[in-house]
Amino acid sequence: MPHANPSLALGLVMATVPAIPSFLTWPQLPRRSFREQRFVQSAAGFPGLVIDSTSRRVYVDRAIAERDLDRLSLAYLTHDISAGALTEEYAAGLKEALQVPRSRFEGVVVRSMLVGPISLGLKLADEQERPLVYDPMLLEALTHHLSLRASWLSAQFNDQADTTIICLDEPFLDAIHSPFLPLDWDRSIDMLELVFAGVRGGRGLSVGAIGPRQKEQPPPIHWEQLMETSMECFACDVYYRQDILLDAAPVLPAFLNRRGFVIWGLIPAQEEALALETAETLVERFQDLVHELGAVGVPQDLLVPASAISTSGGLEHLSVALAERAMQLCVEVSRLLRLAYGFKDTEGRIRPPGSRE
């Protein structure tokens, strides 16, 4: 979110809950502090991490990291999730959300976002600017760090919300097919599962893509392997990258049949696109893609009830007014889709993900 005030940011999110009850995501506020940048927030507490807010640089001091890795290893082996705690300095929106009365979370799924091990391993480098993904020891330690962070986050709302979901953000997931990356899909899946292992609640994955894919290129994401993990939901940008969902179509029915669900990044998070779209045009986009997926074997009656609407990405680069417009479009598109597909309940809300009632 673009806000500097966590109370105002959370207020906007909470205001959309009646229309988007599937998820309440506590707001991350990178404009408030460099330490709230998602990559910085996810890496916070890793041994040897150096954060230079002035130059906006984050890196790992290898000598300090190697000295302190035993502390992280011990915390991981003893499942001391306090080692994964985030302070208000890194997550003011989280602290604000934890102060909300439990009654406000009734029937709501609380989602926490965390950068996944593949993308964080590519983004986070040592002082020589060598990404940690190229160092097996530090990459394993980073995975342990994220596992503790995921466990700690999933525990925060267990006494408040009916359901919690940890969603790993992997914007660089399709880089795994690159010959320059020292990871194959088997190793990558193992890393994701290791992070998921400590989660008490739902497990999600936000799937990114680097640039447009040409039609003759093979799908860079191995969906068959990915859908066999313990992942229960995945999010993707369907406003700009409809091919991601279409690539997943062959394995989507099996995923949905085991009560998986999809978060559609349908509402554009870019200023120019927001100026062009209306709720009606976005509903049409949704229905067109549902039709395309139906043509390749994904039944509408299986997919639509297992769908949630979101923005195509973070809103922090927008003005507060435009961020509010994007959130209100989520509300309006959700309402129109419920009407179009005949979803009804006493509060006018779509039922929680996974429900087939």
pLDDT tier at 352 (50, 70, 90 boundaries)? very low
Determine, yes or no, domain membership for 179: yes
pLDDT of residue 88: 93
pLDDT of residue 110: 86
Nearest CA among 174, 176, 171 for reference residue 247: 174
278 — phi, psi (to 5°)?
A: -125, 170
pLDDT of residue 19: 54
pLDDT tens-digit profile of 249-267?
999 999 999 889 999 999 9
pLDDT tier at 180 (50, 70, 90 boundaries)? confident
pLDDT of residue 318: 94
pLDDT of residue 199: 87
pLDDT tens-digit profile of 123-132?
999 999 999 9
Please state the rounded mean pLDDT for residues 337-348. 72
pLDDT at 1 over 80: yes
Entry pTM: 0.90
pLDDT of residue 161: 77
Determine, yes or no, domain membership for 354: no
pLDDT tens-digit profile of 85-116?
999 999 999 999 998 887 777 777 888 999 99
C-beta separation of 186 from 128 below 8 A: no
C-beta separation of 154 from 160 below 8 A: no
- Return the minimum-mean-pLDDT range out of 71-80, 95-104, 339-348: 339-348
Q: Identify the residue whose tokens are 């404009």.
A: 31
Assigned token pair, 293: 């997926």
CA distance 39 to 169: 10
Report the relative pairing of strands 109-115 and 307-311 from DSSP bridges.
unpaired
Determine, yes or no, domain membership for 124: yes
Q: What is the mean pLDDT of the chain?
A: 88
Determine, yes or no, domain membership for 353: no
Question: How many angstroms separate the Cα of 60 from the Cα of each of 70, 125, 128, 129?
Answer: 16, 6, 9, 9
DSSP string covering 88-141, please?
Answer: TTT-HHHHHHHTS-GGGGTT-EEEEEEE-HHHHHHH-BBTTS-BGGG-HHHHHH
Assigned token pair, 261: 């669900």
pLDDT at 148 over 50: yes
**Domain containing residue 37:** 6-341
Determine, yes or no, domain membership for 142: yes
List CB contacts of 293: < 8 A, sequence separation 6 or more.
Answer: 245, 246, 249, 252, 303
CA distance 221 to 219: 6
Would you tell me how many other CB atoms lie within 10 Å of the CB of residue 291?
10
Check residues 308 and 220 and name the one with the higher pLDDT: 308
pLDDT of residue 20: 52
Report the relative pairing of strands 109-115 and 202-207 from DSSP bridges.
unpaired
pLDDT cut 70: percent of the chain above it: 91
CA atoms 10, 12, 15, 16: torsion sign: negative
Determine, yes or no, domain membership for 352: no
Count the domains in the chain.
1
- Return the minimum-mean-pLDDT range out of 7-21, 57-71, 326-340: 7-21
pLDDT at 357 over 70: no
Determine, yes or no, domain membership for 293: yes
Report the relative pairing of strands 49-52 and 57-60 from DSSP bridges.
antiparallel
Determine, yes or no, domain membership for 152: yes
Question: How many angstroms separate the Cα of 86 from the Cα of each of 29, 44, 95, 148, 203?
Answer: 14, 8, 9, 11, 19
Span between the terminal Cα atoms of the chain, in Å: 33
CATH number of the domain residue 10 falls in:
3.20.20.210
Nearest CA among 40, 57, 51, 162 for reference residue 108: 162
pLDDT of residue 77: 95
CA distance 357 to 320: 37
